[in-house]
Chains A and B, each alone.
Chain A
Amino acid sequence: MAARLAVSRWRAAPSAAGRGPLLSCRRWSGAKADTVYDVVVSGGGLVGAAMACALGYDIHFHDKKILLLEAGPKKVWEKLPETYSNRVSSISPGSATLLSSFGAWDHICNMRYRAFRRMQVWDACSEALIMFDKDNLDDMGYIVENDVIMCALTKQLEAVSDRVTVLYRSKAVSYTWPYPFTMADSSPWVHITLGDGSTLQTKLLIGADGHNSGVRQAAGIQNVSWNYDQSAVVATLHLSEATENNVAWQRFLPSGPIALLPLSDTLSSLVWSTSHEHAAELVGMDEEKFVDTINSAFWSDANHTDFIDSASTVLQSVVGFLRPTKVSARQLPPSVARVDARSRVLFPLGLGHAAEYVRPRLALIGDAAHRVHPLAGQGVNMGFGDVSSLVHHLSAAAFNGKDLGSMSHLTGYETDRQRHNTALLAATDLLKRLYSTSAALLVLLRTWGLQATNAVSPLKEQIMAFASK
């Protein structure tokens, strides 16, 4: 997805003159000869396409006109490629439910995905670990390649093309917003001008165009954002030996978390967030050295100190005394043998949160509204959660004959999602900062904190429930 974003940004560069209108908010009072769409979704990524799909299949939207604008070309697969893509997402059960509500999950099941049942998260500076699993060994989540999800969504969009129109290679260059309420001859709809000069009108504009959202900038919505001093390196790895591979592994190194996500019996996906220099080094180094670095990152205890070790042993024995059945020993992830050629890519990380998710006739979803560190695997799940909530509110509004761009139900969506997303963003940011240090006091606190959380099952269940919505 980063590659696609980069491509679309590159495309916009020649039309640099379009930058101006993108940032200004112009008022429209012109002719009304264009088609009036009920909903236009700007941005055809995972979240935007899911939004268009969900609306297209919604029972109360059967006579509405929906448009999806995507700047990139249509991706068609003759058949599933053999090599796995290096961009994968961890799909929570809640997101899987959304995808199955409009039939995309069946396509994913027919292609490929990997369910994982356990997740082990542990510290590099101590023995502390936390093991998440569901009591009945249900699937905790699914690792699916982004391309596979995109293909499934595209297939479902094609099936409902009488209601949802998809315009590929169309980038909106400017938006014009309506006045607060009808004045003279001003049109009450949002006007969008595309790159090829054509214009269209819509009753509701949904911005799903990524963390550099043009829609958000054009609306003048404030965005709290900062860049992390970290980049993420992704790669597809071949394991030394075939295993059951249904566990997700994440270790917090002082430089950043390294995660191994299962793709198949012999393949796993790497997501290693580390400093910019180290990330560049990792992408550049030769294959053998890269594999050794990964293995030692997971196995080496070089960052352990005696003080912390003894402190954690103390708490561990206390926990063992109180709840003898709940002591879990640290397990080691499978060792890596090879890395897929040309699968090593890096992209920068940051945090972002829009101050408002909605304006009259405008709603932001996905990365346009919030951008998060991948350490919790929640980025796309938050986006799918936005889609669920917004579709729920829009569906109820459509069944009540309401004007889709009316603030009364849009603020309902905003309240729902801001509450959830703000908490998750704050928690993720806190974890990232907490685990970025090897200062003894913080290591001690986080060691004890992690061990205590691991021992308290109801707390773990709450965390899992919150993250799987």
Chain B
Amino acid sequence: MWGGRKLSSFGNRFLGVLRSRCWSTQAEGARLTSSAENQVSWTPQTKPWVFSEYRIMWFKSCRMTFACLNRMKIYRYPWRRLYSTSQTTVDNSEIKTFLALAHRWWDEQGVYAPLHSMNDLRVPFIRDNLLKTVAHHQSGKPLSGMKILDVGCGGGLLSEPLGRLGASVIGIDPVDENIKIAQHHKSFDPVLDKRIEYRACSLEEIVEETAETCDAVVASEVVEHVIDLETFIQCCCQVLKPGGSLFITTINKTQLSYALGIVFSEQIAGIVPKGTHTWEKFVSPEKLESILESNGLSVQTVAGMLYNPLSGYWHWSENTSLNYAAHAVKSTGQEHPVPAEFVFKGETEELRDKDSTNPGVQEELKK
């Protein structure tokens, strides 16, 4: 999927044309990545382009994209079969994708700009839902005293804001390079250095030592990259304290998410680096909810998120057909998991009813 390695010869020719067009931009790309050259080894075919230049060329590449789309789709399947025999939830092919762009994590206007601006939605989402569980909080450090596990933390884009809000964060990622970048970035800030800990491992590897210790687990933009979602959610649940929260942001599996999320974002506009996502791995909210409920996690919120590529900002939306965020809470009691869920759901339904029938209740009282 990534670069020219896995594509057919047709795909190679397609990339060759594009490569020749942006040869001048590669020089620029070389300047920016010169310091990182010793960190990652490159083949000429997989050299990342400067995506802002690439966006300008989409007019020309449009024609060719649609022609070779079908070919690309076919080649995805056999390739996936090769790697699905592992025991872990980590997909090695995905690792290669992220390895290619490890050094660009902290460029706020670079390839990861949409993830940086997604923080404007996901940090308040996590913060507000966690604050609901405490009676009072310290101003300046609202999340102090909370232990959060950030699964698939990447370069630490989400771990750092949570650390700044006072939480103790453990960030894990299977890609060594990402952890190195994240460690390096937080090392300059003495406060963050103490609050955040990074480890290069997968979720399964730390489940035993962190069982039932975390107030929250955050899996943002991760579940669309794992192989076995059921195991992943089970591990998340094991790590959580009873009553702890699980936060997931991911992409829905719909026609629209294929058209906009893969075709437009990756291939045409270059908003997301090519090969980042595989449509088959996208998870619909219904499927996610059923897996969560079957593992003893009661879903509190599912909210849609929309990205505006022109402004670069994310917005909350009623529509969950593209990106969405979910918040689930681990049930507190072991013996009666069902009533516990019921209580939560019942409470929220009661509150909703109260809002809608308040005038009705008042009328009744008058009578």
Residue ranges of A at the interface with B (Cβ–Cβ < 8 Å) = 32, 36, 59-64, 180-184, 187-189, 203, 398-403, 406-408
Contact = CB atoms under 8 A, between A and B. Distances in A.
Interface of B: 35, 106-108, 110, 116-117, 119-120, 123-124, 127, 138-142, 160-166, 184-185, 188-190
A401 B139 contact: no
Nearest to B155: A182
Nearest to B117: A408
B35 A60 contact: no
A402 B119 contact: yes
A180 B110 CA distance: 11
A406 B108 CA distance: 9
B129 to A, nearest CB: 14
Contacts of A406: 108
A468 to B, nearest CB: 31
B139 A62 contact: yes
8 closest pairs, A vs B, by CB?
A62-B140, A401-B161, A63-B140, A401-B164, A401-B165, A181-B107, A59-B139, A62-B139
Contact of B106 (A59, A181, A398): A181
A295 B286 CA distance: 83
A367 B163 CA distance: 36
Contact of B188 (A32, A60, A64): A32
Given A181-B106, A400-B119, A400-B123, A187 B162 contact: no
Contacts of B142: 399
Residue among B117, B138, B164 having the largest count of chain A Cβ atoms under 10 Å: B164
Nearest to A184: B35
B160 A60 contact: no
Nearest to A360: B108
Given A64-B140, A181-B106, A401 B160 contact: yes
A62 B141 contact: yes
A189 B108 CA distance: 15
Contacts of A181: 106-108, 110
Given A183-B35, A401-B123, A401-B163, 13 more contacts: A36-B188, A61-B140, A62-B140, A180-B107, A181-B107, A182-B185, A188-B188, A399-B165, A401-B160, A401-B161, A401-B164, A403-B164, A406-B108
16 contacts: A32-B188, A36-B190, A60-B139, A61-B140, A62-B138, A63-B138, A64-B140, A181-B106, A187-B188, A189-B188, A400-B119, A401-B123, A401-B160, A401-B162, A402-B119, A408-B120
Contacts of A400: 119-120, 123-124, 127, 161
Contacts of B117: 408
B116 to A, nearest CB: 8
Contacts of B139: 59-60, 62
A62 B166 CA distance: 12
B140 A59 contact: yes
Residue among A183, A187, A189, A403 having the largest count of chain B Cβ atoms under 10 Å: A403
Contacts of A398: 140, 164
Contacts of B185: 182, 188
A64 B138 CA distance: 13
A418 B183 CA distance: 38
A286 to B, nearest CB: 59
A68 to B, nearest CB: 19
A431 B190 CA distance: 52
A61 B164 CA distance: 11
Contacts of B166: 63
Contacts of B106: 181-182
A316 B263 CA distance: 69
A187 B110 CA distance: 19
A182 B120 CA distance: 22
Contacts of B188: 32, 36, 187-189
A60 B123 contact: no
A361 B165 CA distance: 20
Contacts of B116: 408
Contact of A408 (B108, B123, B138, B165): B108
Nearest to A400: B123
A323 to B, nearest CB: 46
B20 to A, nearest CB: 28
A204 to B, nearest CB: 13
Given A32-B188, A63-B140, A402 B107 contact: no
Residue among A32, A61, A406, A408 having the largest count of chain B Cβ atoms under 10 Å: A408
B124 A403 contact: no
Nearest to A38: B191
A62 B141 CA distance: 8
B169 to A, nearest CB: 11
Contacts of A184: 35
A59 B35 CA distance: 40
A398 B138 CA distance: 14
B161 A402 contact: yes
Residue among B117, B119, B142 having the largest count of chain A Cβ atoms under 10 Å: B119
Contacts of B120: 400, 408
A183 B106 CA distance: 10
A188 B110 CA distance: 17
Given A401-B123, A407-B108, A36 B140 contact: no
A268 to B, nearest CB: 45
Contact of B184 (A59, A60, A64, A182): A182
B103 to A, nearest CB: 9
A189 B191 CA distance: 14
A13 to B, nearest CB: 36
Contacts of A182: 106, 184-185
A183 B142 CA distance: 32
Contacts of A188: 185, 188
A188 B184 CA distance: 11
A188 B108 CA distance: 13
Contacts of B127: 399-401
Contacts of A64: 140
